[in-house]
Each structure stands twice: as structure tokens, then as C-alpha cells.
């Protein structure tokens, strides 16, 4: 009996196998232009996952709230109290269907937050891949 070595690609939870060895990432990304429009869409939630010290040094994107990456699992847990969330962030806690957009400095931590929220049960999470660096460049701000 002859056996062949078969390569099985690792598929992330939010990706699909497109055939052969191709894997398509289903993460949704938003653009700078979409972020600029957020003040017109208050139901969407923009979350900065950088550390507070980073925000002090650079500022933040308007309408965003700050939940450092290491706190995302706790604060966005489905078990975390809506009242506590509102007290901490002056915003209603997102539901599993709320559009949540994450950003950080360059897009890596925001991707981690996006992946984590999929695992927590959120269905409409996105990553602003350009994150603060793109925003600051296009807005003429300190990077």
C-alpha cells in the first residue's frame, strides 16, 4: 500500500479553504474613507486597542473608545455587564450584531482583537488595517 504526503492547510476560524492550498481570510477591513464617515453612523463602534500611554502621545480617532488589547476579552465578554460598560465608556455595550471596528498603531493588534471578538461570538467585527499610522498621515497628525 502506497501512502502520499498530503498537505492540509491550517484554516483560521474566520477563513475558508478556496481549493488546493489557498486560504481566503474572511476578515473584513475598513478604509480611511469609511472611518472618516463614522460620525454619521453612531451605531457603529470604533475601538482603539492601544495602551492609554500611546493615546496620550498621539491622540485618537474621533468617536473611538479605548479598550487596550489585553482588556478586550473581559470588556467585550458577553457576560460583562452592560451597565458597567456604559459607565466605563459612555457608550452602550455592543451586541453580537453591532458593527465593531478595531484599530491600533499599524493594524496587528487590531487584527488580534478582531479574531478574538469572532471567538467571543460577535458577528460583525472589522479591522481598520491602516490604523493610526494611516489616519495620522492622511490627517496631518503626529504618528
Instruction: Give Cβ neighbours of residue 30 (< 8 Å, ≥ 6 apart).
Output: 101, 126, 127, 128, 129
Half-sphere exposure of 125 (CA within 13 A, CB side): 23
Instruction: Give Cβ neighbours of residue 5 (< 8 Å, ≥ 6 apart).
Output: none
- Please say if 117 is a catalytic residue: no
Q: Report the C-alpha gap between 100 and 114 in whole angstroms.
A: 9
Backbone angles phi, psi at 34, to 5 degrees: -70, -40
30, 72, 104, 125: the catalytic one is 104
Active-site residue list: 104
Amino acid at each position: 500500500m502506497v501512502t502520499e504526503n498530503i498537505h492540509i492547510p491550517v484554516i483560521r476560524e474566520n477563513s475558508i479553504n478556496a481549493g488546493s492550498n489557498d486560504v481566503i481570510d474572511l476578515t473584513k477591513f475598513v478604509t480611511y474613507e469609511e472611518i472618516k464617515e463614522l460620525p454619521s453612523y453612531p451605531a457603529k463602534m470604533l475601538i482603539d486597542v492601544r495602551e492609554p500611554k500611546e493615546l496620550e502621545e498621539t491622540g485618537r480617532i474621533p468617536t473611538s473608545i479605548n479598550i487596550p488589547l489585553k482588556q478586550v476579552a473581559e470588556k467585550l465578554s458577553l457576560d460583562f455587564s452592560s451597565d458597567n460598560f456604559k459607565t466605563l465608556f459612555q457608550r452602550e455595550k455592543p451586541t453580537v450584531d453591532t458593527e465593531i471596528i478595531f484599530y491600533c498603531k499599524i493594524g496587528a493588534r487590531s487584527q488580534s482583537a478582531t479574531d478574538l471578538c469572532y471567538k467571543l461570538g460577535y458577528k460583525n467585527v472589522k479591522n481598520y488595517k491602516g490604523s493610526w499610522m494611516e489616519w495620522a498621515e492622511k490627517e496631518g497628525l503626529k504618528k
